[in-house]
Structure formats: structure tokens, C-alpha cells
Structure 1
Amino acid sequence: MIVRPMTADDVEAAEEISADAFHALDLRLRRAADPEPVRRPDGSAWIARTRRLVTTDGPGCWVAESDGAVVGIATSLRREQVWCLVTFAVRPGLQGAGTGARLLAAAERHGAGCPRAMLSASADPLAARRYHAAGFALHPQLRLEGRVDRSALPAATGVREGTGADREWLDDLDRRHRGGPHGPDHEALAADGTLLVAGDRAGYAYASPRRLVTLAARDEATARRLLWECLARAEGPFLASHVTMANAWAVDVGLAARLELSTHGYLGLRGMAPPAPYLHDGALL
């Protein structure tokens, strides 16, 4: 087995491994009352995001190859003072042979010298043990999900749709929260949801009618306004899936909107406290 840099030609195989690995994990962790897990139905967004990362962060993207076939992947990004692990997976049935450790070590070299690091982890106890051993403090995440009680929605929130002209101050806000901007990752975030900004430039969110992608604000009052606006634009069930207890304000809003609260994996952090008011994207953090 060899571990080598990922190329654009590897991305489709990498997506299959990612989809298979996370589907196998969902099946393993499924509780009796949970619905039957569904394998990722459409990998196009994953593929587009990963191709961007191979271009912007090639030294942070790696594959493990055995007998000419890709059997494991790790992608990561570096943004000024923060390194983020984006995706990390080994083909089901091949875990436990040291492949994951070699991939993670290769990806972490991209973040050498970064004082901060972030990752979003599933509830997999094996992954939690690996990340803890790598020096990450694991902060439990909550998720808010369900149909919005529209009678609970407040009046006008003072939030507008953003444009590319807003990105400079968005990046300044990201530096404040996590030590680095989203920079080139705005394209991927915008592909997942509409950019919404507080009129006073005190915060922003990316959200689709089905889920919150990410949210950052200078203060909790602005964060609440942004989340309420995302909920007001919801169509059908809505999901906000990365809430740490440093962001208890989001729990207040979600429960007021009659969403259901449950636990959902961990936010892994090294060299930093949980950012707030900040709800991270599951991949680009």
C-alpha cells in the first residue's frame, strides 16, 4: 500500500469510498427507532468541493492505494492560522490496518505550524479515540431538526441576501472566530446555500430551504436574527446540525421554532475554544 497526493482523477473514486464508509457507519450506529440509513444519493456536490480542494490545498489531500485501487482518503485545508480536516475515510472492511493513521499523518503535515485545528466528527467511537489521541478536544454537537412553527417567527429581521462584495468582511469575521477566512471556500458554501447577511455587517449565514450550512456573527443578538431568517425561508423539514453548547442561543431559537433537539457527533478542536456565535459547516468548518 502507498499513500500519495490525491489528483483530480482520484476524486470520483474518493467520493465512492466516502459514501460507502459513512453509509456503513450509519448502519453500524443506527438505533432501533431510527429510519433505515440511505447511502448518499448524489455525490456531485462532494465531487465539486473536493476538486476545488485538490486545486487550492493539494498538499492537504491524500489517497491510500493498494494494488492500483484507492482504498482510503483524507482531505484538508489550511486558512492562515487554522488547519481543518475536511474528509477522512477508509473503504469498509479495510479499517484497522494502519491505513487511516498514515492518511491522517500525511494530511496533518499540511497544517504544520498552524496554532489552531478543527474537524467535525461523527459519533463513531473509533474515530473519537483517534482524534483524541491526535490532541483534539471533542465537544459534543447537537442538532435541531423538524418543521418550523411559522407562528413563532418574529417580524422583519434586518437581514438581506449577500453578494460577492461582502466576502472581505465575512473573511474578517471568520478570522475572529477561527483564525482564518473561508476565502476560496465561499464558492462551495454558496453552492450549498444562499448567502444572508445582517444589514449592519455584524454577521452572515449560508442556508438552503432545507438546512443551515454555516453561520457567524459578532454577537448573539445578530446570530439569533440570522437563524430566524434562515428558519423563515425553510421549506419542509429544516436541519441545523452542528451546534455546540458554546452556542446555546441556537438551541433557544430552534426550540422556540418547535424543532427537535438531539445529539450528533463532535466538534474537534486543537489550540482553540469552541467559536461563538458560530455554527460551522460540517466539511469546511
Structure 2
Amino acid sequence: MDSVQVRPMREDDLPSAERASAVTFSEAERTTRRVSDPEPEPRSAADSKRWIDRMRFFLSVDPGGCWVAVGEDAGVERAVGFAISQNRAGLWFLATYGVLPGYQGQGVGKRLLDAALAHAGGRPGIFSSSVHPGATRRYRMADFSLHPQMRMVGTVDRSTLPVIDGLGEGRADDFEWMDQLDQDLRVAGHGPDHGYMLGTLRLVVCRDRARPGYAYLDDQGQASLLAAAHPETAQKLLWEALASAQGTTLVNCITAPNAWAIDVGLAARLDIGQEGYIAVRGMPVPAPYLASGHFL
């Protein structure tokens, strides 16, 4: 659409881009929800602030990967689409991407994704994808392989929780070995992302030099990112997350090479279902690993 401009994102675009994100993903949830799923709820003010803070961080670290599509509404410029990608050493990842429903099917998404992919500079890439037919078509045409993901949901049966040892609270001085583990699993370390996540999440680590691993847990005990050198360590970390869970919990981004997570979830009496894809190009699906939606 000629009236829509795709350009590098600026910090003052963030409030408008957040509103576009909230509408886009709420509509996607509504159209793809299972009959048994609860009705999607509007994004809370706290979640909106977290989205803006996270995207501001990405803008500060790698602004060249951050793009916005803008149109005019009653003479006022507003975001109608966004693509936030980042380079970390030899890896490119897409943190978030979407186009308002009323602007889909008009080439806006392609222009945004093309700009983000140009920033990759030929690096291997990874991101978490929805099941949106138009988006998945574009990803496949860009040579990404799409690997189905599973999720596990429910209330943990606390009688199933095992005794876990060998774990401790993580610190900033763990980042060096964590980045090396990241590099072994996903081509490149998370680099500055670790500092951001440590400021907003709980970090649990296994410092066993033969079988290291780490997991970031949110304030509800959900594993937001998990990486390990061995499935046994990964299972310990996931059990720690489940032990910290409050009420209904979620384990997501589970791919076929990460069946160890399914075993833990089933043992804890969680229900299994399907959700979207992990898309990769020029790299295998990481394992033992549970990706983060935004930091991959």
C-alpha cells in the first residue's frame, strides 16, 4: 500500500507500535483459539509497559534490526506494523513481527520482513512463529524450516515433584559460561540479553562443568528460557520451574528434539497441545533448549 511507509523504528514509535502489537496478537489469539481455551484478555497496562521497555532495549542494542510500518489516521501518523530483529554475533533472530488485521494481505508484512532479513546479512536465523497462513508462507519462501512446537498447560501435581539438587541462584558472573553454552546450542551467545533478563527474571543455574545449564523464570515460576548441555540438567531446571509455579502454569516452545520436556510435563500431570512453530535457517533446532518468545 503506497500510503504506508516502512522505515527504521524510532523510540517515539514505541507506544503506537505497542498498540498495534496488542491488537494484532489479540486478534490472532481470537481466530486460532481452541474451543477449550479461555477468551483472550486485553493486554494489561503492566504488560504493555514491559513490551515497550523490551523493545526500547532492542532499539538501544541493535537499532538496525528494528522497523516500523506507519500510516496516517486523521492526519496523525501511527504504526500499522512492526518487525523487531536483532543480530547477536553470528546469529539473527526475529523478536516480534506483525501487521494490523486491516493492513494484512497488502504487502506491508513482506516489506517489513524483507527489511528485517536484510539486516541479517546472511547469518543463520531463528524465531518463534504463529500459525498465520500468510506469515508462514513468507517464512518458508525465505528458506526457513518450520518445526512444530508443543505446549503443556495445567496445575502441577505437587506430589510428583522430585528432590532437586545441584542448582543455585544465578549471577552476572555466570554470563561468560552461559554465553559459551548458548554458542554451543544456538550458534551465538545471548550477550547483552542476559543482563536485561537478569534484571527482570529469576535466574537458576547448574554450574556443573560437565553438564551446565540455566533457566530464567518469571514471577509466576514459568520458564522463560532454558538451556542445558545435557537433558538430565534440563529436566532438573524444568522441575525447579514447576516447583516454583503458582496456579496454572505453561511450558511452551517444546520441539521434537526436546522430548525430555514432555516427559517432565506429563509426570507433573500437565496437558499437552500444539502451538505454532520454531523457524530456523542455517542451523539445527536447539536442544536441550526451550526458547524465549522474544529473546529466542
TM-score, normalisation: structure 2: 0.93
CA RMSD, 1 decimal: 1.3
Match of 1:65 among 67, 70, 81: 70
Match of 1:161 among 135, 156, 169: 169
Q: 1:229-268 counterparts in 2 under 5 A? A: 229-268=240-279
Provide the C-alpha distance between the structure 2 equivalents of 1:173 and 1:13, rounded to a whole number of angstroms: 37
**Is the CA contact (8 Å cut-off) linking 1:210 and 1:236 kept in structure 2?**
no
The equivalent residue for 2:33 is 30
1:203 aligns with 2:206: no
Comparing 29-38 with 208-217, greater Cα deviation is found at 29-38
Structure 1 gap ranges (5+):
none
The equivalent residue for 2:100 is 91
Q: Which amino acid aligns with 1:135?
A: D
**1:231-256: per-residue Cα shift (whole Å, max 9, x none)?**
11112111111100100000001100
Q: Which amino acid aligns with 1:207?
A: L
Q: Which amino acid aligns with 1:179?
A: V
1:138 aligns with 2:136: no
**1:27-69: per-residue Cα shift (whole Å, max 9, x none)?**
1112333221112223111111100111111000011122332
Comparing 37-46 with 83-92, greater Cα deviation is found at 37-46
The equivalent residue for 1:74 is 83
**Is the CA contact (8 Å cut-off) linking 1:210 and 1:237 kept in structure 2?**
no
Paired-residue identity, %: 47
How far does residue 192 in structure 1 lie from its aligned partner after superposition? Answer: 4.6
Q: Which amino acid aligns with 2:156?
A: V
The equivalent residue for 1:127 is 135
How far does residue 145 in structure 1 lie from its aligned partner after superposition? Answer: 1.3
**Quick one: structure 1 residues 156 and 70, their matched pair in 2 at CA, closer, same or farther if it must change by over 3 Å?**
closer
**Is the CA contact (8 Å cut-off) linking 2:83 and 2:112 kept in structure 1?**
yes
Match of 2:10 among 7, 12, 23: 7
1:49 aligns with 2:61: no
> After TM superposition, what 4+ stretches of structure 1 lie above 6 angstroms from structure 2?
none
**Is the CA contact (8 Å cut-off) linking 1:196 and 1:226 kept in structure 2?**
yes
**Quick one: structure 1 residues 124 and 188, their matched pair in 2 at CA, closer, same or farther if it must change by over 3 Å?**
farther
Provide the C-alpha distance between the structure 2 equivalents of 1:281 and 1:191, rounded to a whole number of angstroms: 16
**Is the CA contact (8 Å cut-off) linking 2:172 and 2:195 kept in structure 1?**
no
Q: Which amino acid aligns with 1:249?
A: W
Match of 1:271 among 269, 276, 282: 282
**Is the CA contact (8 Å cut-off) linking 1:210 and 1:239 kept in structure 2?**
no
SS at match of 1:143: strand
The equivalent residue for 2:237 is 226
Q: 1:173-184 counterparts in 2 under 5 A? A: 173-184=181-192
**1:97-116: per-residue Cα shift (whole Å, max 9, x none)?**
111100111111211131x1
Q: Which amino acid aligns with 2:134?
A: L
Q: Which amino acid aligns with 1:168?
A: E
